């Protein structure tokens, strides 16, 4: 924590994201069994995973937060997403399809070269899976692009591009 003239920095520190869910067990299965996320705490109506994602049973959460106004509150609406990285997009995409998970869109490549796809979790929250940028750099290099071309396309600093290329196991 930085200090300025004897005063501690009071900026908030991000500690995690919470999704409100209709069925905790169904969502817990999605995140822990399908996506392999490790549960760090399970209180029944709320569950925390490594990586600072949590799920709360919707009715419980709304009653805690809004008390008497809970029934007036609407949740959901395609207005946020969480992001995971995977070097094995095709395998993960196929696994989720085979499990009946609703795929929002197939694997696509963004203008900066990163490939990704998105799905809906059991409560229609958006979950994105993208390649790590090191994987993008390696793929673009294997396609014959120079470090300078990769830098220009991916926006990754040239030092990082060169370092990733240097460390490719031949």
pLDDT score, position 6: 61
112 phi/psi in degrees, rounded to 5: -85, 5
Mean pLDDT (whole number) for 142-159 = 97
Two tokens at 169?
Answer: 């196991």
- Residue 52 belongs to a domain: yes
- Residue 34 belongs to a domain: yes
**DSSP structure class, residue 72:** G
- Residue 83 belongs to a domain: no
Residues 6+ apart with CB under 8 A from 152: none
Which residue stretches of 106-157 are H helix?
133-142, 147-154
Task: Tell me the whole-structure pTM to 2 decimals.
Answer: 0.86
What is the total count of domains within the chain? 1
pLDDT score, position 148: 98
- Residue 92 belongs to a domain: no
- What is the b/e burial string over 157-168, where b = at least 16 CB atoms within 10 angstroms of the residue's CB? eeebbeebbeee
Task: In whole angstroms, give the CA distance from residue 13 to residue 26.
Answer: 30
Per residue in 43-78, pLDDT (tens digit) is 999 999 999 999 999 989 888 888 777 677 777 777
Per residue in 1-28, pLDDT (tens digit) is 555 566 677 789 889 999 999 999 999 9
The yes-or-no verdict on residue 119 having pLDDT over 70 is yes
- Residue 89 belongs to a domain: no
Which residue stretches of the chain are H helix?
24-28, 58-66, 89-98, 133-142, 147-154, 158-166
- Residue 136 belongs to a domain: no
The yes-or-no verdict on residue 130 having pLDDT over 90 is yes
The yes-or-no verdict on residue 170 having pLDDT over 70 is no
The HSE-up count of residue 132 (CA atoms within 13 Å, CB side) is 9
Domain that holds residue 46: 15-68
Greatest CA separation found in the chain?
63
Which residues lie across from 103 on neighbouring strands? 119
Residue indicated by tokens 């490549």: 109
CATH of residue 38's domain is 3.10.180.10
- Residue 25 belongs to a domain: yes
Per residue in 87-116, pLDDT (tens digit) is 999 999 999 999 999 999 999 999 999 999
pLDDT score, position 10: 79
- Residue 51 belongs to a domain: yes
Mean pLDDT (whole number) for 141-170 = 95
Residues 6+ apart with CB under 8 A from 140: 113, 149, 150, 153, 154
Task: In whole angstroms, give the CA distance from residue 24 to residue 31.
Answer: 10
């Amino acid at each position: 924590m930085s200090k300025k003239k004897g005063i501690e920095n009071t900026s908030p520190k991000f500690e995690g994201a919470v999704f409100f869910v209709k069925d905790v067990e169904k969502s817990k299965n999605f995140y822990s069994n399908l996506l392999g996320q490790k549960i760090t705490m399970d209180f029944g109506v709320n569950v925390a995973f490594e990586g600072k994602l949590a799920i709360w049973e919707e009715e419980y959460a709304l009653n805690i937060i809004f008390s008497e106004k809970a029934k007036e509150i609407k949740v959901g609406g395609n207005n946020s997403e969480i992001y995971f990285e995977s070097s094995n997009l095709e395998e993960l995409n196929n696994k989720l399809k085979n499990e009946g998970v609703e795929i929002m869109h197939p694997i696509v490549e963004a203008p900066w070269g990163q490939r990704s796809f998105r799905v809906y979790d059991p409560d229609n929250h958006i979950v994105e899976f993208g390649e790590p940028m090191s994987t993008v750099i390696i793929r673009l290099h294997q396609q014959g692009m120079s470090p300078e071309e990769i830098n220009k396309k991916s926006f990754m600093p040239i030092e990082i591009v060169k370092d990733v290329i240097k460390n490719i196991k031949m």
